[in-house]
Amino acid sequence: MARLGLRLLCVVLSIAAVRSCAPADREALLAFKSSLKEQNSGVFSSWTGPTAAPAGTVSAATPPPAALPTSTSPGVMTGHISSLVCRLDRLTTFVLADWRDISGSIPPCISSLPLLRILDLTGNRLSGPIPADVGKLSRLAVLHLADNQISGEIPQSLPKLSSLMRLDLSGNRISGHIPENFGELRMLSRALLRGNQITGGIPTSIGRMTRLADLDLAGNMFSGQIPEALGKMPVLSTLNLEENTLTGVIPANLLGSRRINILNLSHNALEGVIPDAFGQRSYFTALDLSHNRLRGAVPKTLKTVSFVGHLDVSQNQLCGQIPQGPPFDHQAAASFSGNDCPLGAHCRNAYDGRRHLPRRSLPSDLNLVATPYQLSIHHKSSRRQT
């Protein structure tokens, strides 16, 4: 089966109510261009001349993003992010995503852009810390810095981002603790921090976040107990805490929640019995409690839940008979293996309900109005089999 790669480059620059760039903006844009080197993409081909701006993109009625198709070769852009981009004080959208080889650090002055609402630098080789004053971006709704080499701690100012709705810091080298007041991000609906080196406990303040639906802290070094407050969150639907060093017992309200439908607590050091807290209103697309130190029997009340797609309780210290009937009879035998004694009856088909959280998707309710300034240089790859 052949793969067909579709590469898309987008350059967006819109300035409301003006027909051309101001001289200072033009100078900053050309300096920004000179700090980056493209390879066969042509994305900067129209950025020419000492007084030129990107052709066809500066207008009071500029359509949203102008798409420039390129070859199917891997998209690569090298260079760094010039601090001169901070002179664009009307900038609202800054996307420089998935170019793989843009390196250097994030200019600290980016925290001084008063109108910035979207910052997406995903999929490059950026290093150094997140700017300490990032919390000054009071209008920032989307902060995506995933899949880079960013290090240091999460800035103490980050919980001051009162408009933040989407946060993705996955796949970096971030260390230290999550700020204790992380729960002050009351507008946040998605927090993806997986694949870092974050230590310490999970802040209990997260339990006060009334709009958080997706929380992914997998692949870090979190320790201590799982806060019971997580099971009381009103809209939390996905909770992924796998591959940490969490201890203690599983909070019963996580299993009895009517809202959580993807729960992954695997590869920790959780102890005690599986709480007998399941109910008819529970609905799990995926429930993974494997690779812990859980003992006792699998609760019979698990039969009462409305749906369980993927269930895994393997590699624990469980013992006893697996209840008959759904959801147990359609699980793979491997889902019950590696316990203190054989766990029950023949299991038929395997169903893997695990999923990776979608990244870099903008919230549908962001409701961006006509923005005075947008700058987006985005490399996107979608593949299909033929």
Please check whether residue 262 is in contact with residue 285, taking contact to mean a CB–CB distance below 8 angstroms.
yes
pLDDT in tens, 70-119: 222 346 778 889 898 898 888 899 988 888 889 999 999 999 999 999 99
Lowest mean pLDDT among 26-35, 226-235, 265-274, 277-286: 26-35
The two structure tokens encoding residue 212: 């958080």
Three-state SS for 22? coil
Please check whether residue 208 is in contact with residue 180, taking contact to mean a CB–CB distance below 8 angstroms.
no
Buried-state track 290-315, b at ≥16 Cβ within 10 A, e below 16: bbbebeebbbebbeebeebbbbbbbb
pLDDT in tens, 133-165: 999 999 999 999 999 999 999 999 999 999 999
Query: φ and ψ at 48, to 5 degrees?
Result: -130, 160
Whether the pLDDT of residue 258 is over 50: the answer is yes
- In the chain, the percentage of residues whose pLDDT exceeds 70 is 73
DSSP string, 122-140: -SS--EEPPPTTGGG-TT-
Whether the pLDDT of residue 177 is over 50: the answer is yes
pLDDT for residue 90: 87
Task: State how far the Cα of 226 lies from the Cα of 241, in Å rounded to an integer.
Answer: 9
pLDDT for residue 212: 99
Q: Which of 267, 187, 274, 156 is nearest to 220 (CA)?
A: 267
- Band (pLDDT 50/70/90 cuts) for residue 293 is very high
pLDDT in tens, 40-52: 555 555 555 444 4
Task: Give, in order, the Cα–Cα distances in Å from 219 to each of 82, 172, 193, 322, 383.
Answer: 32, 11, 9, 30, 27
Whether the pLDDT of residue 6 is over 60: the answer is no
The two structure tokens encoding residue 352: 């893997």
Please check whether residue 311 is in contact with residue 304, taking contact to mean a CB–CB distance below 8 angstroms.
no
Residue count (the chain): 386
Given 3-state DSSP classes, what are the helix, strand and coil percentages for the chain, each rounded to the nearest 5?
15, 25, 60
pTM, rounded to two decimals: 0.80
Q: Are strands 245-246 and 149-153 parallel, antiparallel or unpaired?
A: unpaired
Helical H runs in the chain? 23-34, 252-255
Please work out, in degrees rounded to the nearest 5, the angle formed at the alpha carbon of residue 360 by the alpha carbons of 56 and 243.
Answer: 160
Three-state SS for 278? coil
The two structure tokens encoding residue 7: 């590469």
- Band (pLDDT 50/70/90 cuts) for residue 331 is confident
The two structure tokens encoding residue 35: 């700090």
Domains contained in the chain, CATH given: 1-152+373-386 (3.80.10.10), 171-358 (3.80.10.10)
Hey, how many other C-beta atoms are within 10 angstroms of the C-beta on 177? 15
Please check whether residue 106 is in contact with residue 80, taking contact to mean a CB–CB distance below 8 angstroms.
no
Please check whether residue 299 is in contact with residue 279, taking contact to mean a CB–CB distance below 8 angstroms.
no
Please check whether residue 18 is in contact with residue 372, taking contact to mean a CB–CB distance below 8 angstroms.
no
pLDDT for residue 66: 28
Contacts of 369 (CB under 8 A, 6+ apart): none
pLDDT for residue 4: 25
